[in-house]
Structure formats: structure tokens, C-alpha cells
Structure 1
């Protein structure tokens, strides 16, 4: 009995001695990064950190007082090094807190860094246990730091706001596909060796205005951060950029359209003055490489449905022939966007559709023969697209309001 009691006492003493937070890090010892930017090139990197200010981070998620509305929610600083990790380590000579990347929302890569190659960046990123591969990655026209220093009213945390813009854009308009660090790495290491990331830029008369906390109390700003293009990677280097229509065409071809709004000319209009609009609700696109006698052909089959949300057409929408004419116009718009994207991809010699991946999965031996001269084979490929559109609803009005007005004048 005494022996058992002695054992219990020893266990209790040991447990008491080993409890506590000896290795724990307190929250006030951390700088929580909400956005990160990479500038420079191999041998000379600059890493920029956008870290949240503790006094405003709580109000950013739950609403704060009016008096704190003009206070900046973040602070921004940079450090340099020969490698990405050395640059991060150099932050310790000026930053009293350890930088914590687990809550990072965005990674911005400058044009110079993207053109030089992002292999060192990705290698460093995936070796860091605190970094999340689900972070959205974007490219900047100029310095990545210039993006991270800008506020996005009314949001207190610009990094989180940019991430939300990218995520919502994916479902509302699908212009520029949202890409995570993992998806980018997966794309450039696949057989197609292609990756895409949205480009973010500052537009407006006075970009410096967005760097002041006073902008948070203004009703209008003279500058804005916005998505402006789609940067294309071949391997680990950027090789070009697509504009809005080309990028939307790429979204069609890669089956990434979650929703978008298309304007198209009315069937009875001679010019571009009278336009109608359709809201795309559902899209299913399948791309198949078909081997011919001399080279491959890309066959595209698209099934799209949408709602007519605006029209000035004189067509009788109560009749199927009137609806059919509208559908043909919509199909032509989608087809044109696909062709623009395909032409742009061929000009840059990039396999944005993942054709190489498809051939490799179906016929590894065939791909082994094609791979050494894949750029030339890609340039010879033609695309044949079949687009079918279904207009599921015409809303409250069957015919256009313009048609109703014309009838009252008769």
C-alpha cells in the first residue's frame, strides 16, 4: 500500500514539474503576416511583409469603433538576402517579433522575380512548416512591395481583402482563375509545364493616397487596386500575359467558368449600339486531343446555360425562333473568346489546356515521342469548338422593354 502511494506521489510530482508553456510562444511575441511579397532575383531577394496591427485586427473581423476607423490595420516592412530564407531571417535585425506565416492570405510575385524564375521561391515556401500551400498567389506589374503598402477601404487587412477579391471574382465573373501556391507548383511541374496567376495593379491618379491611413475615412479614392490580367508561366518563368477576353477564353477552355456576365449584340442590330446581356449560370466544357494523320486536333465541346438579364432586341422572345437567334449570338461570343485564348497560347508556345497531360495519361509511349518537340507540335494544332447555349429564363419581361415602348408609339 505504501509502495503504491509512493508511486502515485512520484507521478504527481513529475506531472507538476513537466506542465507549463516552456516552449510556447505568446501572441504578443508574433508578427502575424497577412500578405507577403517577393521582389528581386536570384542572389538578391527582397521579402516584404504585411503584418496585422493587434489593436485593429479584432475590429477588422468583428467591427470596431468609429474613432479607430481611420487607423491602419497593418504595417509593412521588408528585408533583403541572397536567398529567400536569408531575407526572412534578416528581418530579425529590425523586427522585435517573430514573423508568423500560418495566417498569410496572399503571396505576390514581382514581374522581375517571375521572369527570373520562381523555383527558389517555391522550394523555400514548401520547406517552411508555417506556410500554407492554399495561399492565393498573384503577380505584380512592378514591385510587389508597392501592392502590399496599399490600403483597400473599407477593409482593415488588405491582404485578406485581396484574397477575398480573388475568391469572389472566381464565382461572379471568372475572368482571372484564382490560383494557389500548390496549384501553381503542380502546373509548372506537370507534363504541360504551364501555370497561370492573376495580375494585380494599382490604377488611378494618386496611388500614394492608398498608403495613408486617412484614406479609410474618405468616401472616394483616386486610386484602386484591381486585377488587370493573367500572367502565364512556362516552367518556372513567366513568358507573357493575357488580357481580360483572352483570360476568360482560357477559363472557358479549362472548364473554370463558375459564373459570368456576357454582353452580345442584338440579332437585329447592324452595329454594336444595341447590346443584350446574359448571366451564365452553368458551364461544362470538355477538351479532347484527337490524333490525325499528321498532327493532333483539339476538339472542344461546351454546354452552357444562362439567364437573359438585359435586352434591347426587337425579336419576339415568346417564340422559339427569337430565342434561338439570341443563343446564336451568345455562342459566337463564347467561341470568339475561346479562339482568342487559343491563339494567344500558341503565340506564347504554352500548353494552357494541359493537352500534354491528357496525352501522357492516355498514351505514355506516344507522349514520349512528342515531348522533345512539343512546342512545334502545339503550334501545328487546330481547335474545333462546338458551343451550345441554353437560355433557361428571360425574367419578368418576355419581350424587351424597348419593344414595348415602340408599340406605344404605333
Structure 2
């Protein structure tokens, strides 16, 4: 079996599961309890927080645990809107954000907030000048993803940060769910970035884990009210075993990160150079440095993406259409639509997403399967268009 759907979720590593099991058995108390069993669990929880903070070059009190990237995005965006609504009701994002951001913005629009959606070019990148022109006196938040989850475009975060240096009261949020462990740490540590959201299951941690980096001095309203956990910012009993396992997964991810990125790039190049030779293939991802190392998106015009996915499944190879969050709906990719890709091509798009656990041998097996899949669909191909 070849698993090339790592942008949807990753398999928890054995060492990570060992940590989860050990903490579940030995640190089972509620971290909020006053007794020694609770204190032991709290010590484990705070140890995980310190480890993640160290890995992220942050302070422990800048790390807040969540259940996933979606919760983190919702919290930062809605929390900013509710906290700063007396100063303004204008937010800025891009047209290609994950649904966790886009749909949250739609909800705020229904509550009277105004949102500007920055367009992207044919490669999937925003123009920083569009952001500069969109900023207003009542702008309270700019939210831009680090890496697009469908085509892998790395947004110009440093340029955005430079623009926002002149707007210190505007919160700058980055969804880095697809960016962690992909050679972007220097960019993610740009001091102008105020909030970053992460999801554990994207880097071999258990599902139901995530964390938010919140720069010291920034304030947002809590999304979840309750017992006051996470410094009154995110109530709910912390999932100590899963959080400890997430800290372990992050440490393993960032160990030899450069070598892992180079390995993913080599696998992606092997597939790209083979697939791109075929006449009825439209490539959306590119091999240039401004694309992430692990995502490859392309289309076979004339064949629906879900049909291609199932064709590869017959070879025991698992890929996806575009975003896993919308693939079962059979809808057109929002990113490709924003890139002005014709609908008949966008609905044929598929995504191969890699991980350092994948191999070049798997890339060769994919290419061999692609030859057979391509030949089987030859009669259905439409004329490719860019």
C-alpha cells in the first residue's frame, strides 16, 4: 500500500503512540485537580508545553492547546473580531484559504463584519500590493495561510509582515497547518506574526490535537468558556496523553528537518518529471522554491478527479482530489476556481501529498501505475488548457 494523502492526515508514528500509551497509563489525572495525581498530570502537560515552545522558539505562555487546526482558526479569527470590534469590523483574508478560515469569515459577515478576500494569480499567489491597498483604518485582522493545502503555493508572509509593520494594531494570523516541518521555520518566526495555528494529525500526532501560538501581549476573546483551563483562554479538560504525544511528534518532525524537506522534494520531482511529460496533463503545482515540497496537484482534463482517485486505489495507491475536507462533496476546488482554472479542468484535479516516510521507490511505483491509469482514460481526455 502506498499512502500519498498526507495533507489530509498522517499516520501516527509508533514512538508517538508509545508516548500516548505511557502517559495514558501513568498520568491519567485531571491536570486541574489539586491532589498529587492531578499535579503529576499537570507537570506532564506543562512539560509538553515547554517542549513545543522551545521547538517553536517561543515562550511557554505563548502556546495554547486546541483540538485541531479548525478550532485554532475559528478561535483566532472570531476571538479577534469579538475582542477588537469596538476598534473596527474589517478583516482581510485570501480567496484560497482553508474552509476553516473562509467559512468563519462568512459567519462574521452575517454578524455585521466586513471581509476583503484578496485574489490570487494563475499560480495561486496573492499580490502583497493588493493587501496594502485593502488595509483600512478599521482593519483589525489579516489572515493568510502559509502553504495552500491544494496546490502548495507558499504565500509571501515576510512581505506581508513588512507591510503590517506600519499597522501594529492589526492582528496578523497565519494558518500553518500545511507549513510545519516544510522548511518554513524562519518565516514562521517572523516577529510581526501574532498568531499561528497548527494541527497535530498533519505531523504524525494523534487526531484531536493542535496548538496556537499567540504572541505575548496580544489578546483575543476565548471561543470556549468553562473551567478556565489554558489561562482562561481555552476551557475544557486538556487531553494530556495526546498533547504529550503531539510534543513528541513535533520534536521528531523538526529533527533533521532540512534532510526531510530535501527527501520530499526528491520524491515530488520524480513524480512531477514523469507525469508532466504526458500531453493531456495540466500541472498546477510547480518545482520552484515558492511551492511547498510535499504537494503536487495536476489534472487529467476529461476525467473527474474522484474517478482518477479510485483508479489509483485499484493499484493500492491512495491520493485525493483536492482538499480532503471537501473531496466527498464532489465540488470544484475553491483554490483552482480562484486561480481562474476552467471548471472542466478544475473538476479533474487530483492531489498527491507526501511525507518524509514516503520513498523514491513508491514514487516509481506511482509512475508505473500512472502509465496504466493514463492509458485507460485515453479516450476520455479533453484538450488540455492552461
TM-score category, normalised to shorter length: under 0.3
TM-score, structure 1 as length reference: 0.22
TM-score, structure 2 as length reference: 0.23
- Identify which of structures 1 and 2 has the higher relative contact order when contacts are C-alpha pairs closer than 8 Å and 6+ apart: 2
Q: Which has the larger radius of gyration?
A: 1
Normalized per residue, the structure richer in strand is 1
